[in-house]
Every structure is written in C-alpha cells, then in structure tokens.
Chain A
Amino acid sequence: MSAIVQFENVGLRYGLDSETLSDVSFSLASGGFYFLTGASGAGKTSLLKLLYLAQRPSRGVIRLFGEDVVTLPRKRLPGFRRRIGVVFQDFRLVPHLSAYDNIALPLRVAGMKEDEVDAPVAEMLNWVGLGDRGDARPATLSGGEQQRVAIARAVIGRPEILVADEPTGNVDADMARRLLTLFEALNRLGTTVVVATHDLPLMAQVSGAQMMKLDKGRLADPTGTLRYPPRARDDQDRGEGR
C-alpha cells in the first residue's frame, strides 16, 4: 500500500519552549488503521494537529496525499482539509447549531446540494443513536452524546484520513465498541484511521491495527516502522517480561 502520510524528522516547538515533538519520522499506509498512544503530555494532540493541518511544524517535512504540506500555499490547505475528518478531544461542536446542522457542516462546507444533505445526516444520526436528537443544541446533550455528534461530523464526508483524539473517552463500553465498528467500517472502505487513545483494550479489539507510541515528544520506535499490531505487541511485551 502507498504511503498517505509521511513525517520526516518533524519537530514542533511552541514559542521559545523546548520542542514538543522531536525528530518524528513515520509513514502511514493508505487504508491502514493506526493507534497513537503515550502518556499525557507526550505530544499526541500536537502530532494530530500536524496531521489535520491545524499547525505547521517548526522543522522537518510532512507529506499528505503525496504532497509536501509544510510548504503548501495557504490557499490550497482547504482542499486538503476536506479530505481529513477530525474528532477533536474537546468535540468543538458549534454551540448555536443543532446536532443535525453540526453533522451536516462538512457536507455544506464542501458545497453539497441541500437536498442531498438530509439522507446521510439522518442516517448518521441514527447510527450514533441520536436519531431523535437532531434538533438538540450541543449544550442540551450529554458529554457522550456530544462526542457521538463530533464523531458523526468527522466521518460523514467519508474522509480519506480520519483523525480522532480520544474518541471514546466519554462513552460507555457498548458505544465505544459501536464507534470503533464504525471506524473499522470506514477503514474497510479505504479510509486511513488514526486514533489517539489510552484505551489498550480498545486497541486490542482492532485486528491488524498498528500502534505508534509517543514518549516525551519522540516516537518510541525511532525507525518509524510500525511492525507490530497492538495484540502482537502486547504478546511480545509479555514474552519479554517473562
């Protein structure tokens, strides 16, 4: 499979602080399923920000869809962003829009005709179990419901890359499983999925997924080769422990 994301010696520094990310190099295959893990403050969210083009790195090269996005002119970024779905850790739902309108947002931004918006949004609302809450504003939804709206919004446009920052943090185990199933379904349709999570059991449920571990801003596997699916890595860790 061809690489859809390539990081080469990427460093990220906020202001004059020390580097949040240092010498990060990896490559994600198109259609792969990846977990990004690491302790709090390891740089997971910063790495995801680089991935969904909310930030440019201080150094290094990032290639998305085969193009260097570090030097990409600003006016071309929207086209790239439309190919990436993002589930933010803090959901970032638009507070004055209903759940329906929040989910419809990527379709409308992409210029989809209004009569084509209704069916996929209704389907997505039903899928995340909020079929009867379409008119509800985010403030009236629970944390878990907001998270489901955020996930529905991220996936509705069938993005080529789906980036999710702790997407199951506020939902129960059953819903977490359903959301993961949705991610896997999207992944089977060709979407490259990158999920930042602490939830090891969740990672273990996705066969064939690979894991990247960040430790103090550095990728734990410095070769950038993601050789071990989570289950295999767990087994290996147990083997090494014996």
Chain B
Amino acid sequence: MSGRAERKAATAARHRLLPGGRVAGPMPWIIAIMMFVTVLAAAAGLGLGAAVQSMRADLAGRASVQVVEADAQTRAALAAQTLRALRAAPEVRSADPVPSAVLADQLRPWLGEEALNGDLPVPALIDVMLTPGDAGTKVDRLRQRLAALSPKLRVDPHAAFLTPLAGLLSALGLLALGAVLLMMLATAAVVVLAARGAHDSHRGTIDVLHLMGSTDVQIARLFQRRIGLDALMGGALGFSFGIFVILLIGLRLGATGSELLAAITLPWQGWLILVALPVAGVLLATLTARWTVLRALGRTL
C-alpha cells in the first residue's frame, strides 16, 4: 500500500471508531442559526464602522461660512469680501460660494416657493475646504480671522452637524460587534453541551478504547473532528444564508438613493472578516470540543 493510501486507510479506520452521521444532535442547525445572526451582526458592525469613517473623512476638512446680513446688497458685498479673505487664508484649500439657485433648491421643501422670492433674508453660504491637518484648530483660526472682518460671519464645521449621528452609528457598530462576541461565546457553550452529550452517549465505546490503551488525546481527536465537521456544515449554511441576506440589504440600501445609507458599505477587509467568521467558528467548535472531552476524560481513570 502506498504511503498516501496507507494514511487514508488508517484515517478511515480511525474515523469508524465513532458511529457514522452526526454525533451532536441538532448542534449543526443551532450553529447555522448562530452563524447567520453572527454574520449579519458583524456585517452591520463593519458597515456602520465604515460609514462613520467615511463620513468623518468626508466632513472633517469641510466647513460652511454663513454671511448673516439682512440687506441683500450689503450681504453680497460682504460675501465677496469674505470669499477673498478665505481664499487668501493659509488654512483654506478652496472656498466656493454656494449659488443662490442651489440654496433655493435646498430650502424649498421647508420654506416653499413664496419664501424664496427675496422678501426673506437668506444668508449667503460659502463652502470651504480646509487644508489637511487638525480641522478643529484650523476652524478656530478661521473664526478669528473672519471675526476681524465682520461679526456677521459664522463658521460651521460640517463635522459638528454629524457628530451625534456618527456617535449613534459608532455605538450601533460596537453593539453589533458585541453581539458577535456574545454569539461566539454562545457557540462555545453549545459545543460544550453537545460534546458532553456526545461523550456520555458514547461512553461504552470510550471505556473500551481506554481499556485497550487509547490515550485521552486519541479519543478527543475523534470527537473534535466530528464536531468540527458538524460545525463546518452548520457554519457554511448559516454563512451562505447570511451573505445572501447582506447582498439583498445592500441592493435595498442602494435603491433608497440616500447618501447617508449609501455610506453603509462593506470594505474588502470587512468581507475578509465575514469570510473568516465560519472558519473561526469551526476552529472554536473544534477546540472547545477537544477541551470538553479532555476534561471529561480527565475525570475518569
């Protein structure tokens, strides 16, 4: 017999020591459900995390300058003066006035057509892109610079608008990752129960193997392999279904047309982490089964 065939035959003979089929009852199905929830929670956590990062990256270097002046002519003159001052400031990479048509479009849903006919003093807006670096300090310097120009100028960093939202998204992301950890713990607990049950129901075979000189590790290997395979089956099923649902949700998010929701995307590192989840699940189940069986065997002679 060749070396490979020999190893194959020896492995097959070893595997026959436990009866065929599953050893741990409904464990694969429970692991499938837990893997499904874990994948969804992880995807939510990673997606929200990526959204927060993307939001921060987009908004951290941006600010708006409002020219709050009731008189339209004075406002236009002050806006032009401010624009020149901004473009000359070393903190500013670019400064562009927001066209009044764009401003009108944005205000129309709230103020209606009548409100934009010129009777209502709407501040002039200038979009400012800051140079790279600490945005907070640059905004402070800009405020000082513009305060010297006129007290009617307000600088609003964009990051400030979304700080509460980013905080909420971060908290949700952390909650999702916490759920992943809890799921992993629950998986380990299920495997402990399943391995104990399997150990108890095969006690007769284990006793015989022990009395013939099997070591604990030899016996534990039988269980860890079988429970690992069960976990692989359940994990693959839960993972596949989870990915299917994530792709469906992705399509739905894209269809909303919302910039905020569209920011919830999974970067490639996120996909890698998702793929690693069933692998980690199988590894966790295998090691937990080994530990449980070794502990149970350690209590016997």
Binding site for B on A (CB under 8 A): 52-56, 74-75, 77-82, 86, 92, 94-97, 101, 104-106, 108-110, 113-115, 117
Please give 9 more A-B residue pairs, beta carbons under 8 A apart, in addition to A94-B17, A114-B10: A54-B207, A55-B301, A56-B301, A92-B208, A96-B16, A108-B13, A109-B209, A113-B10, A114-B9
Which of A78, A81, A117 lies at the interface centre, i.e. has the most chain B CB atoms within 10 A of its CB? Answer: A78
When C-beta atoms are compared, the residue in chain B nearest to A80 turns out to be B213
CB within 8 Å for A110 and B301 given contacts A94-B17, A96-B19: no
B99 interface contact, C-beta 8 A: no
Rounded to whole angstroms, the CA-CA distance of A56 and B301 in the bound complex is 8
- Give the top 4 A-B pairs by smallest Cβ distance, nearest first: A82-B213, A81-B213, A114-B9, A96-B19
CB within 8 Å for A54 and B6 given contacts A94-B17, A115-B1: no
Question: Do A105 and B208 touch (CB < 8 A)?
Answer: yes
CB within 8 Å for A106 and B212 given contacts A54-B301, A114-B13: yes
Q: Which residues of B contact A97 (CB under 8 A)?
A: 16-17
The B contact surface, by secondary structure, is helix
CB within 8 Å for A52 and B208 given contacts A74-B301, A115-B1: no
Nearest chain B CB to A75 CB, angstrom units:
8
Nearest chain B CB to A120 CB, angstrom units:
14
Q: Which residues of B contact A74 (CB under 8 A)?
A: 298, 301
User: Which of these, A77, A86, A95, A113, contacts B301 with CB under 8 Å?
Assistant: A77
Rounded to whole angstroms, the CA-CA distance of A18 and B299 in the bound complex is 24
Q: Which residues of B contact A75 (CB under 8 A)?
A: 215-216
Rounded to whole angstroms, the CA-CA distance of A104 and B13 in the bound complex is 9
Question: Do A108 and B301 touch (CB < 8 A)?
Answer: no
Q: Which residues of B contact A54 (CB under 8 A)?
A: 207, 211, 301
When C-beta atoms are compared, the residue in chain A nearest to B205 turns out to be A94
CB within 8 Å for A96 and B20 given contacts A53-B301, A113-B6, A114-B6: yes
B164 interface contact, C-beta 8 A: no
User: Which of these, B1, B6, B10, B208, contacts A94 with CB under 8 Å?
Assistant: B208
Q: Which residues of B contact A80 (CB under 8 A)?
A: 213
Question: Do A108 and B14 touch (CB < 8 A)?
Answer: yes
